[in-house]
Amino acid sequence: MQIPAFAKVNLCLRVLNRRPDNFHELRTIFQTISLHDTLKLTHIPQRSIILETDSPAIAAGPENLVWQALEKCRSQWKLTGGVHARLRKCIPVGAGLGGGSSDAAAAIIGMLRLTKCRIPLESLIELAASLGSDVPFFLFGGRALGAGRGEEIYPLPEVARKCLLLVSPRDLAVSTAEAYGWLSALLTKDDIPTKIYEFCTLCWSPQETGLPNDFQATVFKRHPRLKAIQRELLRQGAVEAALAGSGSTVFGIFRSPAQARRTARLFPDDHTFCTETLTREECARARHWRAVAE
């Protein structure tokens, strides 16, 4: 059983007040892109989870979200036997593209296909949310509104396909926890009404007008290289360019794949990916599991 685990970008990311559970309230627009990891699952008779990865830098034990997802599926669904998983990574780690969360969602979908279990969608979403705030989004894909901690997902109308160039510095990763720490000191309640208004406008507009990301100013201040990448993408003709999530990838939206590929040659020392947006239907077809998109 082989499942693609697609990356995402945030077309808008607004961080609001801190909640009683100590998480921040978010409003974001998630968008799936075609860059993906690949997870291969095989049923084994022994009651264990075996995970192999193609990178020695990635944990292959209980600290890995794929391992955790497989174990939760096995125990909660009372499955006999175990699973051998092979994870091939293409999405950079710590880049703000949701690779780990997407891998976990792929593990859940793969287990459903492998075991042919019929689990209510509400239970799948609850299981996904227990693994990470944005894991529920990756069950669906496409373009969606994220609220709460990011675990509340509401599908949005799809928009025309967009060409993206991702630039991820090889020697730079941004910790999400650190990014929230840098931002928390700057949050004020007076900003919230404006953020919500702008967010609602972007949600329902067929064309994004700007890509606001509340992490961008503080992350760029500490990592000027990312700001320089954004400026270069815009100078090369990107319609918009912004930080992906909390970083450390910067993405630009281009009018054509050829323009994106030409621009990628200007970043020989960085990871670059020419990719495109995917709809919920396209994600479902690629994973051979239409129930998630319906």
Does one domain contain both 174 and 127? no
176 located within any domain: yes
Q: Which domain holds residue 217?
A: 163-276
The predicted structure's pLDDT at residue 260: 97
Let me know if residue 149 belongs to a domain.
yes
Strongest mean pLDDT among 28-42, 70-84, 276-290: 28-42
Asked whether the beta carbons of 252 and 241 are under 8 A apart, the reply is: yes
**Model pLDDT, residue 293:** 38
**Residues 120, 20: one domain?**
yes
Structure tokens at 166: 């991702």
Q: Which two tokens stand for residue 98?
A: 């949701």
Q: 39 and 152: one domain? A: yes
pTM of the model: 0.90
Domain final residue pick, 119, 134, 157: 157
User: Among 35, 30, 17, 33, which Cα is nearest to 213's?
Assistant: 30
Helix (H) or strand (E) holding 139: helix 135-140
Q: Which of 248, 27, 26, 290 is nearest to 141 (CA)?
A: 290
Active-site annotation holds for 21: no
Catalytic residue among 8, 72, 89, 162: 8
- Judge contact between 251 and 241, C-beta under 8 A: yes
Clarify whether residues 106 and 177 are in a common domain: no
* CATH code of 208's domain: 3.30.70.890
H/E element, 195: helix 192-204
Q: Per-residue pLDDT tens for 192-223?
A: 555 555 556 555 554 555 788 989 989 999 99
Residues 6 and 150 in one domain: yes
290 inside domain: no
Q: Is residue 169 part of a domain?
A: yes
Does residue 213 form part of some domain? yes
Closest CA to 217 of 68, 13, 31, 1: 13
Q: Which two tokens stand for residue 160?
A: 């025309």
Q: Is 134 a catalytic residue?
A: yes
Same domain, yes or no: 151 and 208: no
Q: Is the pLDDT of residue 294 over 50?
A: no
Measure the CA–CA gap between 131 and 173, rounded to whole angstroms: 21
Identify which of 65, 63, 67, 61 has the alpha carbon closest to the alpha carbon of residue 41: 67
Tell me what pLDDT residue 233 has: 98
Q: What is the dihedral of CA 20, 22, 27, 28, to 10 degrees?
A: -160
Do 181 and 93 share a structural domain? no
Rounded CA separation 10/243 (Å):
8
If asked whether residues 197 and 238 sit together in one domain, one would say: yes
CA distance 41 to 83: 7
Annotated active-site residue in 103, 134, 214, 270? 134
Candidate from 138-142, 144-148, 165-169 with smallest mean pLDDT: 144-148
User: Which residues are bridge partners to 49 per DSSP?
Assistant: 83
Q: How many domains does the chain have?
A: 2
Same domain assignment for residues 47 and 103:
yes
pLDDT digits (tens, 9 = 90+) for 147-181: 988 889 999 999 899 999 999 999 887 877 787 77
